[in-house]
């Protein structure tokens, strides 16, 4: 898109925001043009969310503008009187946050919540009687791609999927007919297909309405496919502002180049050399897991007769949307859940119905890295104790030997030795992931299940985790099951891919073959939602059905 000659809708001039210490935003100069979709990228702590809330005029407690100003169509927003300020926040400028379930009122129907915004920020000549507001709320829900909006309007947030709840938040933002949308990681943690649907609706409606959008994200794939320009933030400063096409070809700043390099897929892994007389380390046949729901005559078929194998040194990626049964399958493999039917063979031994006493010696060779390490790591214990605990599954050790082993594990996942004395709550998300990996490696396993190890991480941290897993697999000849909906990571980590949907594996094969020549319609839909930064075209992925 060519640069617009029109005056900016929002302009920041030397904006500096602090919370009593060093500035969180430091001298920000930025313009948001009419009908522009402007991406803001950066790692955690860069100041992206504070930037959005400063523009909205709703800084977190303790925050204040120390210098500079924010202009709306050339007028400082601090010059707005009380009615104008009320119309500005949520009306002329609206915020779409992440984690919609936390943003919505859990005890109010979603149609009524949209109605509240319509009454507060609707046009002065708009009707506010109950029927008119309800009809307008339903129309907005239909506009953002919710099927059967009349029925869904009567639902409570907990009755909606994550993607549907996020659409409700977008509908609430559009209800005030804003001129500017601030989308702050609005699709973080959503499945690839749902993310594509939500982004398509957001961008489509913004284009139709002529809105300006500030799209805050840590995903350069989103920026490449949906934005006109972007700004890279680091430590509260803008390090680069550029047209997206120019940035993708030639980023000007060194930090920007590092981010772009980290976001790109690693070279494809070569399949491990196989021996005809060596069986797979894990062989699964017709694995089934049903959950009985109270009050329902039919069980939930979470895993429905799946079969696959993993060779020594090989990574199989199990991909699919949330609810497809991926994590349940991984937990069944490690006997964390007792499967309903099917067989699990590890290293030539059928462990399906093996007694716990017989299985205990094998458990050290089969480990899991959990999706949410902070939930899996005891917050009251220090890292050294968390890493030493699994060593009880190995041979007896003295205190000095345990200390040396803990130091080795920290070094293996590229963490400083001082981390041993820290509790999980004092670590970053990336450091927590590394501790989770180190804990799984403590017993020197032969097979590891990685459950979403790269989801929702910063660009560079995600790349570091990918490189770490690749290096560990090479050095330890690990076999791995990589459970994920992050398709970009699959390209970098998996030798083979199995596509899972509604409890079944639809197809599986070598990674390159699956990505280049998928056989199943569902696989094609899943891959169409991927947002790679090296695509030949910058056209957005198809949204597909928005049911």
Residue in the structure block whose two tokens are 């913004």: 206
Q: pLDDT per residue over 462-517, tens digit each? A: 888 898 888 888 888 899 999 998 888 898 999 999 999 999 999 999 999 999 99
Radius of gyration of the chain (CA): 25
Give the pLDDT confidence score for residue 105 in this predicted structure: 93
| Predicted TM-score of the model (pTM) | 0.82
Looking at residue 89, what DSSP letter applies?
A: B
Phi-psi region of 400 (alpha: psi -120 to 50; beta: other; left: phi over 0): alpha
Q: Where are the domains of the chain?
A: 282-529
Higher pLDDT, 266 or 498: 498
- Say if residues 237 and 28 touch (Cβ distance below 8 Å): yes
Phi–psi pair at 123, nearest 5 degrees: -60, 145
Distance CA 455, CA 6 (A): 39
Of the pLDDT bands very low, low, confident and very high (cuts 50, 70, 90), residue 128 is low
- Say if residues 333 and 281 touch (Cβ distance below 8 Å): no
**pLDDT of residue 545 exceeding 50:** no
Give the pLDDT confidence score for residue 297 in this predicted structure: 78
Largest CA distance in the chain: 80
Q: Reply yes or no on domain 282-529 having CATH 3.40.50.150.
A: no
Q: In what order do the strands lie in the sheet with 479-484?
A: 366-369, 447-451, 479-484, 315-319, 496-501, 504-510
Give the pLDDT confidence score for residue 30 in this predicted structure: 97
Give the pLDDT confidence score for residue 539 in this predicted structure: 43
Residue in the structure block whose two tokens are 């910058």: 538
Q: Comparing C-alpha atoms, which of 316, 315, 317, 320 is closest to residue 302? A: 320
**pLDDT of residue 411 exceeding 50:** yes
Q: CA angle, corner 97, sides to 29 and 255, nearest 5?
A: 45
Angle between helices 162-175 and 130-143 (to 10 degrees): 120
Distance CA 222, CA 201 (A): 14
């Amino acid at each position: 898109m060519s640069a617009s000659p029109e005056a900016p809708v929002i302009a920041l001039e030397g904006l500096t925001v602090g919370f009593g210490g060093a500035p969180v935003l430091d001298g920000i100069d930025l313009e948001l043009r009419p009908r522009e979709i402007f991406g803001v990228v950066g790692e955690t702590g860069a100041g992206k969310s504070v930037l959005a809330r400063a523009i909205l005029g709703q800084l977190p407690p303790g925050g204040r503008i120390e210098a500079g100003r924010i202009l709306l169509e050339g007028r400082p927003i601090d010059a707005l009187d009380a009615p104008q300020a009320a119309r500005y926040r949520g009306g002329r400028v609206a915020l779409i946050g992440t984690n919609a379930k936390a943003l919505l009122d859990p005890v109010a129907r979603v149609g009524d919540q949209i109605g509240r915004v319509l009454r507060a920020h609707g046009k002065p000549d708009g009707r506010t009687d109950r029927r008119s507001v309800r009809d307008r709320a339903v129309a907005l829900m239909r506009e953002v791609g919710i099927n059967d909006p009349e029925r869904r309007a009567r639902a409570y947030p907990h009755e909606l999927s994550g993607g549907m709840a996020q659409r409700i938040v977008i509908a609430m933002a559009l209800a005030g007919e804003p001129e500017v949308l601030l989308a702050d990681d609005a699709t973080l943690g959503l499945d690839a297909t749902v993310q594509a649907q939500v982004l398509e609706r957001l961008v489509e409606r913004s284009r139709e309405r002529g809105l300006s959008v500030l799209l805050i994200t840590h995903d350069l794939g989103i920026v490449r496919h949906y934005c006109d320009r972007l700004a890279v933030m680091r430590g509260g400063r803008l390090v680069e502002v550029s047209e997206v096409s120019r940035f993708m070809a030639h980023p000007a700043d060194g930090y920007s180049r590092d981010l772009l390099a980290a976001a790109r897929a690693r070279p494809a892994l070569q399949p491990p050399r196989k021996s005809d007389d060596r069986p797979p380390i894990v062989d699964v046949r017709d694995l089934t897991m049903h959950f009985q729901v109270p009050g329902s005559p039919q069980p939930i078929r979470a895993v429905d007769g799946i079969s696959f194998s993993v060779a020594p040194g090989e990574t199989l990626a199990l991909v699919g949307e949330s609810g497809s049964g991926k994590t349940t399958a991984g937990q069944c493999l490690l006997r964390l859940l007792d499967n309903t039917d099917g067989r699990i063979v590890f290293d030539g031994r059928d462990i399906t119905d093996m007694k716990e006493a017989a299985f205990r010696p094998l458990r050290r060779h089969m480990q899991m890295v959990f999706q949410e390490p902070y939930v899996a790591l005891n917050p009251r214990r220090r890292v050294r104790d968390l890493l030493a605990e699994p060593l009880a599954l190995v041979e007896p050790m003295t205190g000095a030997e345990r200390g040396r082993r803990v130091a080795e594990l920290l070094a293996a996942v590229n963490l400083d030795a001082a981390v041993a004395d820290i509790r999980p709550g004092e670590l970053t998300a990336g450091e927590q992931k590394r501790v989770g990996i180190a804990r799984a490696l403590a017993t020197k396993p032969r097979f590891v299940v990685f459950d979403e190890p790269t989801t929702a991480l910063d660009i560079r941290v995600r790349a570091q985790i990918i490189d770490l897993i690749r290096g560990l697999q090479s050095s330890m000849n690990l076999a791995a099951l990589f459970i994920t909906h992050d398709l970009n990571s699959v390209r970098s980590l998996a030798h083979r891919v199995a596509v899972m949907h509604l409890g079944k594996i639809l197809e599986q094969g070598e990674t390159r073959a699956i990505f280049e020549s998928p056989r199943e319609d569902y696989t094609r839909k899943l891959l169409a939602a991927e947002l790679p930064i090296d695509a030949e075209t910058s056209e957005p992925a198809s949204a597909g059905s928005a049911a």
